[in-house]
Structure 1
Amino acid sequence: MSVTAVPLQPIEKGTLTKLWIGVGLVLAAGLALAWFTTRAPGDLSNASASTFLAWNGTNNDVETTPSGLQYQVIRPGSDTGATPGVNDVVVINYTLRSLDGEVIDEGREATLPVGGTFPGFAEGVQLMTPGARYRLWLKPELWLPEGIEPGTPRPPQLPIETTEVMDFDVELVEIISETEMMQRLMEMQGGEAAEGAVPVPPPAPPQ
């Protein structure tokens, strides 16, 4: 049995080096992309609210409303189209974090009147349908209580500084209409509610 020898062509000097450099550049580009997309929130955690929100708003999956509220749909809700109104009551699961990821407060099955929360939170919840999970970013003007301006010393009742962004993870469990809430309270009290009484279910998110 004869074997035919196939002559190997000599590799041009520097070809392998160029090949490995090319592979290295591709890997480096991938690592750089991953690094930039994951590092920014941490690096910007101490930045001003405007600086962070300007960066955050450039992400493709983050929407910004005319008021400046930013939100991300983590999980869409039911397709019934039902969203809460300002006079409704909602049952939610929520987690409040600082921009560096520290959990500041959280609640499960929390019941609260939409109109009784701060403006940015109320706006965000009214975009959701039951079962939805959103992430909300509120600039100071959208969560600070009336009479407190951004940059003023933080009162003891506030969970973060008056210059910071509130970062909420919110899941809408249930919408309860004002009428239904009144009926539930009547059943709990075993009688009729006073005419014109307005139910005030606790608790609201921290302010």
Structure 2
Amino acid sequence: MTKLKHLLLLVCIAGCLTACEKDFPVDNHDPIAQFTTDTNAIRAFVTKNDIATKKDDQFGMFYQIIAPGTGNIEYKSTTQVTANYTGRLLDGTVFETKNGAVFTMGGLIGGWQIGIPLIQKGGKIRLLIPSFYAYGNRKNGPVPANSVLDFTIEITDLQ
């Protein structure tokens, strides 16, 4: 009986030690390579769909100002933005549409923080956002990891 207990104890210890050696996923994500992939996908998308965009030289993000809006708000991280928007993936899948959404600039994804200040109240912009300035290599709700996002945003109020 003692031998059986020792054998069972040895099996349990071995099982515990084996469990400790599990392979955890290693993040081999290369943000520079992903940014290049995203940029190429955006270029192909705008060419295929004949969208006149500009590329921000500093951040490498593509945008189209549909209407500049009026005013002279100097955006800060505390600026409150009210907007109507639709977010799509490059395949056309709509993942979110909201009207009258209220945000604080500092709480927005990087792509919005870069693009929104290009327009004023009443303005409308289309942002093609590389994954780096969106959700990166993380899935976010219906948005898969490493997704380029296509937002059409209309600013209805700024405070």
TM-score tier by shorter-chain length is 0.5 to 0.7
Runs of 4+ with deviation above 4 angstroms:
56-60
Q: 2:116 aligns with which of 117, 125, 128?
A: 125
2:38 is the counterpart of 1:49: yes
Query: TM-score, normalization: structure 1?
Result: 0.52
* Structure 2: gaps of 5 or more residues: 1-36
User: Which structure's CA Rg is the greater one?
Assistant: 1
Whole-angstrom distance in 2 between the partners of 1:49 and 1:169: 18
Q: Percent identity?
A: 26
Tell me how far apart the structure 2 counterparts of residues 105 and 164 of structure 1 sit (CA, whole Å): 14
Are 1:62 and 2:62 matched, yes or no?
Answer: no
- 8 Å contact kept, 1:56–1:62: no
How far has the Cα of 1:88 moved from its partner? 0.7
Q: Which residue of 2 aligns with 1:102?
A: 93
- SS of residue in 1 equivalent to 2:146: coil
| Alpha-carbon distance, 1:124 to partner | 0.8
Alignment length (residue pairs): 120
In structure 2, relative to structure 1, the CA distance for the partners of 1:51 and 1:133 (3 Å cut) is: same
CA distance in 2, matches of 1:97, 1:53: 13
Could you state the TM-score of these two structures normalised by the residue count of structure 2? 0.67
Determine the structure 2 residue equivalent to 1:162: 145
Q: In the alignment, which residue of structure 2 is the partner of 1:71?
A: 63
In the alignment, residue 173 of structure 1 is paired with which amino acid?
T
Corresponding position of 2:26: none
Q: 87, 102, 105: which one pairs with 2:78?
A: 87
Q: Which has the higher strand share?
A: 2
Q: Which sections of structure 1, spanning at least 5 residues, go unmatched?
A: 1-47, 177-207
Residues 66 and 124 in structure 2, CA contact (< 8 A), matched pair in contact too = yes
Larger relative contact order (CA 8 Å, sep ≥ 6): 2
Q: Quick one: distance in 1 between partners of 2:121 and 2:83?
A: 9
The residue aligned with 1:21 is none
CA deviations over 1:7-59 (Å, ceiling 9, x no partner): xxxxxxxxxxxxxxxxxxxxxxxxxxxxxxxxxxxxxxxxx523222335777
- Measured in 1, the distance between the counterparts of 2:51 and 2:89 equals 22
Secondary structure of the residue that 1:136 maps to in structure 2? strand
Aligned partners of 2:82, 2:123: CA distance in 1, in Å? 12
Q: 1:83 to 1:101 in 2, by over 3 A?
A: farther
Given that 1:84 and 1:175 are in contact with CA atoms closer than 8 Å, whether structure 2 keeps it comes out as no
